[in-house]
Each structure stands twice: as structure tokens, then as C-alpha cells.
Amino acid sequence: MQQIYDDIRGDFRYDNELNGCLNCGICTATCPAAHFYDYSPREIVQLLWTENVEQIYDAMQEKIWACAQCMTCAARCPFKNSPGGLVAIMREVAIKHEMQSAKDVLRPFGRVMLKLITTGNQLSPDMIQPDHFPDWGPNIQKVEGDLTVLRKAIPVKTLQTVETAWEVSLKTSVEMYTIWEMTGVLKSLELMDENLFDVIEDFIDEKREEYDEWLEEQEDDD
Amino acid sequence: MKPTDQNGSPDTGIAGHGSFFQETNLSREEAVRATDWVRKHVDRRTVDLGERMDDVREHMYELEKEGEIIIHRITDEHEPMAVRTLFGWEKKVPTKQLWHHKSCGQCGNIPGYPTSLLWFMNEFGFVPGKDYLDETDQTSCTAWNYHGSGIGNVESLAAVFLRNFHQAYVSGKQHGHELGHFYPLVHCGTSFGNYKEIRKYLIESAELREKVTKILGKLGRLVDGKLVIPEEIVHYSEWVHVMRNRIASELQKIDVSNIRATAHVACHYYKMVHEDAVYDPEVLGGNRTAIITSVAQALGAQVIDYSTWYDCCGFGFRHIISEREFTRSFTMDRKIRVAREEANADVMLANDTGCVTTMDKNQWIGKAHDQNFSIPIVADVQFAALACGADPFKIVQLQWHASPCEDLVEKMGISWSEAKKNFQEYLKEVEKGNIEYLYNPELAYGGQA
Ligand code: SF4
Ligand code: SF4
């Protein structure tokens, strides 16, 4: 527990984000998450400010995931605190310590995570379909037609894609995988969801091979 | 007599207070003191503030002098225009030689806003491959994932930022220009906020710089062994803001003075690293960020205020995917309903992927909760393109929107059914492979102009 608190406090952003607290509640008054959840940015700041280690740990079991990361609180706080920024640190620490709350919350996010880690894009045209988002209604597009054709009707070549938001070159993707690896992002993913991690690793290996082959072809051509 | 709500409080919704607003009954002296405090510290931290906030750019110039980094500068060639920011800094907004940095949410589902932007550049006679570039060598900023899941970290965000902006810096070479010819224009509000925050951390932390230098070195993305950091981070709506008078005077074809427009500015545009967001004393008295409102005003639309202007849209990063009740309840209750009831808006203008998606797509389900409110949601640049005669389907791509754009288009005097008919004809051509482009598509792959 103490280690978790020390990790939060040890983040280099911590002193930037927490500068004291007037307990005025401006942050909570303006917070969208506070409207709908048992959550209050003021409480998060107070817990950290008063070093209430036990309750900080409790808040990380669920509450911190309510924050919508809009940073309205940060723009309003007279002390220039950023409750949303503190929550971001707490989430990273929750993942590092493999807390169950992080695993639970991230499971339904898996499909999007897969897309992001492998392609760098998040929502792609083939995902924004009524079967994925039934609550967006039957008419989420105003023109009937095949998705591929509708995308081809966008007069910008890079956007004429279906599985990613825009076409990303292979070299770019491979560079991104190196970043994921070197910064420990893939490691965090493995801690959170081993199955997803395996799928992603296979995908990355395949793309790298494809890229190597392409490079060899280029050399042969020269 | 002013209208009152059921508590007897003045119901001055359109002026900026909702019906829940209650008088505080402060004495005049107390009220002046309280108002001054809020003005100084919260609302209007503009030009007249006296004390300036620490300016990250000054630290960048020092680091550059010490030989630590290279700054991607905005030069006269970029034909910049100066704007004021919340804390009174002057910010340069380049108007030409732009490297379009796309948004992973927007391109997938609101493609009309990048296309409208490119369309404007063409209308101004910009030459693709010289005055702007749209290429495939870029990733998203990945901050959506970070804010949604916590997977990712400052180091990964910094490496992605520097990789993409290095590519922007060197991209001109392929087209026979100098290094730094193209300047990145960020399409996404989330990327904009994230990049500014990360830039601050990079400038503050030598340790972070050291870590990412290793990564960028491995990727071959250092210049003379140094990191390249942009002088300004520039959002597309800032480009629209500085071009608004030219848009209105040179390109506008349609009178929009009968249109009641409300604005929703992306939180990550002006609430993250807020000292850098553009404010203009001429726009809403400098009390709110100028972008969006300024272009609507320049086009002659009626800009109507509403009490929840400051609220977020409810996107929540993770929430829009896996806690949709939160997203849709917030967006319906705090944005759509209010803009409808208080402002009777014909349109809500926004400037970000997440906000347009959230407010656009979540209206239908409201009906299940007797929330029969709807408003067309489009980006500022899409609205401007419509006012300048762009095709609602081929260019503004309104077919991807779920909100009721038909009425807005008709109210602007454009025939929706006619445009739709033409577009459906065009789709048949597309099927045959006869596709129209805004510019030579080879440029997307690094080809010659
Ligand atoms: S607004 Fe700032 S000072 Fe006020 S309660 Fe929130 S964190 Fe504390
Ligand atoms: S960032 Fe989080 S805590 Fe702050 S106002 Fe937004 S939802 Fe609330």
C-alpha cells in the first residue's frame, strides 16, 4: 500500500499537479464524472494532500476510473492543481501494480486497444457500424451503400481506408512498435491482459517480417 | 419584466445562466471582490493580467542555444499571423506550408472535417506538395488510448510526438524543399493538448529528454543527434480562426445570418495547457476562447450563448466505448438539451473528433428516455465550407453524421435532396473507379507534386 502511494508521489509530474488544496470544491462542481458517479476530484486531491494512504488505495479500487480526463478541474482550480492529471498518474500506478480494478475496467476496452497498438488508430470505419454501437441508432450514416465505396468517395486518398482511420505506411507502424517496446507499453499490456498481449505480439511479428521483406525487395531492385 | 423560473430566480438562460441559477445576495462590495477574484484567477486570464506565466518557449530557446535541441521554427515563409493567448502570450499561427497531422477518430468517422480543411486550402490556391502535404508517414498521438486506459506513459507519448514531428520537419526534403519547410497542423483537440503537455515535460525534464533521445536515435529520427521540437503547437481551428476574414470576404457564398449557432470547444483545446489557447478581446469579450465563435461571427451567423458552454461533451475517452450510459446521459443532459432549450440552436459547432462524435452519435438513444432533443453537430470548418458553397456530401461529407444535418442545410438555402441525388449518382461512378480527388493522390505516398 505504502509502495503504491510512494510510486504516485514519486512521479515527476506529481509536484506539478498538486500544489495544496483549499477544499473549495470548484473542481467537483465542474466535473462531469461527479454528476454520475460516486466520485469527486476534490476528494482525490484531499486524500493525496493529507497523505491518506489507506483511502488512496481504496479510491484506486474503482473511483479513479470514473474520471473522464476532460481537465475541466485543472483549468478551474485556484491552486493550479490538476485532479485529472493526478488520476492519470494513479491509473498508471494501478496498472503497474496489476490492480484488479485496472484489469476489470480495461477488459471491455480490449478491441479498441488491439486496434490502437497494432495500427496506431483507434476507431476505424469498420467499427463505427450499428452492430458495434446499437445505441447510436439505425441511421448512423445518411447514405446507404457499401462501406468501401463510401470511403472511396472521400476525395482524399489517405482516407480511403476501411480498417484504419487513414492509411499508415508500414515503416511508420514498425517504428511505433519499437516505441511500444522500448517504453514498456507492451509490458503493461501483458500485465493487464495476457491473451490480448499474445494476439498483439503475433500481429507485430508479422508486420515486422513484412517490412523486412519489403526492405530486401528494395535492395534487390537497386 | 424578466422571465423567472419556478424559484422566482431570473431565468436568463440565453445570457449565460440556466434556470438553476440563483442569486447569492452578496453585498455590492462582496460581489465586486468575488467577481474580481474570479476574473483574475479563473475566467479572464488575458492580456490585462499583468503577471505573465512562465513561457515554455523561452526555455526552449535556451535549450537550443545550449545545443540540446533543434527548434522547428515558424518562418516568414509560413506566412504566420499573430494571435493572443489566455495569458497574453503572442502565438504565431502559420497559414501556409502545412503538414496535415490527422486524427485517428475524426478520419474514421467524421472525414468531412479534414476534407473541408483541404478543400479550403485548394480554394485559396494552395499548391499541394508545396503549400500543404497529407502523407501516410504519421501515427496518431495515441493519447486517446492513454487517457482512456492508462496504458501508455509520458515516455511513449513523448516518443510518438517527437517521431511524428520529426517526420513533419524532414518531409519537405522529398518534395525538393528545405528541412522545416512544412509545419505541422494538428487536426485533433486531444493531440493538441497532449502534445503541448508533453512538450512542457520534455523541456522541464532532462531525464525524459535523455530517455527519448535513445528511442528516437534508434528510429533514426534525430537531426545532428538532437531532438526536433516545434516552436508552436498549432491546431487546425486556429488556422480557421486566423483565416476567418479571408474565408468570409473571399469565399463566402451563402448568407448565414438566419442561423443560430452554438459553440462547443474541445476541453483539450483550452483546458489543458490553457495558457496557450487563443483568446481575443473582440470575441465574447475575451472571456472565452476565440476559436469557433470567431469564424461563426465572421461568417455572420448568430452566435448564441448557453449556460453549459464550459462543460465537456461527455466523451471520457474510455467512457464512449465502454461506459456509454455516462457519455450519452451527459451529452444529452448537459449539452444537447441545453443548447436546444436555452439557445434554440440550429447547429452546434465543435472543433474536435471526440466532441463531434459524442454529441453527434448519441442523440438517437435519448428518445428512449423521453429526451427528444436533437441538434446537428458539425465542425467549425465544415460549417464554413458549407457557407462557402462546398458540396454537403462530396466535400463536407455530412453523410457520416447521425445528427439531423438536413434541416441545417435546407435552412442555409441548399437543397439536401438535390445534393443527395447527385452524390448517389457519383457513388455509381466511384464503383466504376472514376474517383475525384482534391489533389494528386500520389502525394499521399510521398510522390512528386
Ligand atoms: S478546485 Fe482545487 S483547491 Fe478547490 S477543492 Fe478542487 S483541488 Fe482543491
Ligand atoms: S478531468 Fe476528471 S476529475 Fe477533472 S473535471 Fe474532468 S472528469 Fe472530473
Q: Which atom of ligand 1 is nearest to the CA of A45?
A: 7
- pLDDT, position B221: 97
CB atoms within 10 A of CB B418: 10
| Mean pLDDT, residues B115-136 taken together | 95
CB of B156 within 8 A of CB of B219?
no
- pLDDT, position B230: 97
CB of B106 within 8 A of CB of B157?
no
Quickly state the pLDDT bin for B449 (edges 50, 70, 90). low
The C-alpha atoms of residue A192 and residue B443 are separated, in whole angstroms, by 40
Quickly state the pLDDT bin for B440 (edges 50, 70, 90). confident
Quickly state the pLDDT bin for B12 (edges 50, 70, 90). very low
- Biggest CA pair distance of chain A: 68
What does the angle CA A217 – CA A220 – CA A222 come to, to the nearest 5 degrees? 115
Contacts of B149 in chain A (CB under 8 A): 91, 106, 109, 113
Is position A28 within any domain?
A: yes
The C-alpha atoms of residue B316 and residue B355 are separated, in whole angstroms, by 10
Q: CA-nearest residue of chain B to A141?
A: B400
Interface of B with A in 15-54 (CB under 8 A): 41-42
> A109 vs A105, A116, B146, CA distance in Å?
8, 11, 12
How many Cα atoms sit within 13 Å of A129 on the Cβ side? 12
Q: Give residue B316 CA to ligand 1 midpoint distance, Å.
A: 21
Choose the mutation target among B36, B102, B107 for the interface with A, i.e. most A CBs under 10 Å: B107
Is position A184 within any domain?
A: no
| Among candidate residues B361, B368, B304, B359, the one with its CA nearest the CA of residue B337 | B359
- How many A/B residue pairs have CB atoms within 8 Å? 274
SS3 content of chain B, % helix, strand, coil (to 5): 50, 10, 40
Q: Give residue A149 CA to ligand 2 midpoint distance, Å.
A: 40
Quickly state the pLDDT bin for B154 (edges 50, 70, 90). very high
Nearby residues of B360 by Cβ (< 8 Å), 6 or more positions away: B110, B377, B401, B402, B403
pLDDT tens-digit profile of B27-37?
888 777 766 76
Q: Give residue B309 CA to ligand 2 midpoint distance, Å.
A: 16
Q: Which atom of ligand 2 is nearest to the CA of A41?
A: 3
- pLDDT, position A128: 78
Does B102 sit within 8 Å of A158, measured CB to CB? yes
Quickly state the pLDDT bin for B246 (edges 50, 70, 90). very high
Q: Tell me, what CATH number does A4's domain have? A: 1.10.1060.10
Is position A124 within any domain?
A: no
| Mean pLDDT, residues B86-97 taken together | 92
- pLDDT, position B141: 92
- Residue the block writes with cell 498518474: A89
> B416 vs A129, B363, B392, B409, CA distance in Å?
24, 21, 8, 6
Smallest Cβ–Cβ distance between B140 and the set A121, A142, A156 belongs to A121
Quickly state the pLDDT bin for B270 (edges 50, 70, 90). very high
Choose the mutation target among A38, A76, A157, A218 for the interface with B, i.e. most B CBs under 10 Å: A157
pLDDT tens-digit profile of B248-264?
999 999 999 999 999 99
Q: Give residue B110 CA to ligand 2 midpoint distance, Å.
A: 26
- pLDDT, position B21: 44
CB of B116 within 8 A of CB of B136?
no
Contacts of A179 in chain B (CB under 8 A): 156, 159-160, 163, 215, 219
> B16 vs B284, B308, B339, CA distance in Å?
12, 8, 11
The C-alpha atoms of residue A113 and residue A120 are separated, in whole angstroms, by 9
Counting ligand 1 atoms within 8 A of each CB, the residue from A17, A21, A67 with the most, and so the one to mutate, is A21
The C-alpha atoms of residue A165 and residue A168 are separated, in whole angstroms, by 9
Is position A49 within any domain?
A: yes
pLDDT tens-digit profile of B212-229?
999 999 999 999 999 999
| Mean pLDDT, residues B275-290 taken together | 89
- pLDDT, position B377: 96
Does B138 sit within 8 Å of A68, measured CB to CB? no
Quickly state the pLDDT bin for B52 (edges 50, 70, 90). low
Is B134 within 8 Å of chain A by CB?
A: yes
Stronger pLDDT, B8 or B242, i.e. the higher one = B242
Is B193 within 8 Å of chain A by CB?
A: yes
Does B214 sit within 8 Å of A142, measured CB to CB? no
| Mean pLDDT, residues B286-308 taken together | 94
pLDDT at B91 over 70: yes
Stronger pLDDT, B18 or A41, i.e. the higher one = A41
- pLDDT, position A139: 73
| Mean pLDDT, residues B196-214 taken together | 96
- pLDDT, position B41: 56
- pLDDT, position B42: 52
This prediction's pTM: 0.91
Is position A120 within any domain?
A: no
The C-alpha atoms of residue A87 and residue A71 are separated, in whole angstroms, by 10
Q: Whose CA is nearest to atom 8 of ligand 1?
A: A21
Is position A22 within any domain?
A: yes
- pLDDT, position B2: 40
Is position A192 within any domain?
A: no
Q: Which domain holds residue A17?
A: 1-102
Is position A89 within any domain?
A: yes
The C-alpha atoms of residue B274 and residue A80 are separated, in whole angstroms, by 11
Q: Give residue A76 CA to ligand 1 midpoint distance, Å.
A: 8
CB of B356 within 8 A of CB of B265?
no
> A217 vs A167, A177, A208, CA distance in Å?
21, 22, 14
Give me the domains of chain B, ranges plus CATH numbers. Answer: 57-236 (1.20.1050), 253-429 (3.40.50.11810)
Choose the mutation target among A123, A167, A194 for the interface with B, i.e. most B CBs under 10 Å: A123
- pLDDT, position B347: 97
Number of domains in chain A: 1
Please give chain A's pLDDT, 222 residues, in tens. Answer: 899 999 999 999 999 899 988 888 889 998 999 989 999 999 999 999 999 999 999 999 999 999 999 999 998 888 889 999 999 999 999 999 999 999 998 888 888 888 888 888 777 888 877 777 888 887 777 888 899 999 999 999 999 988 888 888 899 999 999 999 999 999 999 999 999 999 999 999 999 999 999 889 888 776
Does B144 sit within 8 Å of A165, measured CB to CB? no
pLDDT at B39 over 80: no
Is B128 within 8 Å of chain A by CB?
A: no
pLDDT at B3 over 90: no
Does B400 sit within 8 Å of A182, measured CB to CB? no
The C-alpha atoms of residue B37 and residue B148 are separated, in whole angstroms, by 34
| Among candidate residues A88, A65, A102, A95, the one with its CA nearest the CA of residue A4 | A95
pLDDT tens-digit profile of B328-362?
989 999 999 999 999 999 999 999 988 999 999 88
What's phi and psi for B96, nearest 5 deg? Answer: -135, 170
To the nearest whole number, what is the mean pLDDT of chain B? Answer: 89
- pLDDT, position B104: 83
The C-alpha atoms of residue B385 and residue B389 are separated, in whole angstroms, by 6
Residues with CB under 6 A from ligand 2: A 30-33, 41, 67-73, 83-84, 87
Does B151 sit within 8 Å of A182, measured CB to CB? no
Q: CA-nearest residue of chain B to A114?
A: B145
The neighbouring-strand residues paired with B100 are B185
CB of A93 within 8 A of CB of A101?
no
Cell of B340: 436546444
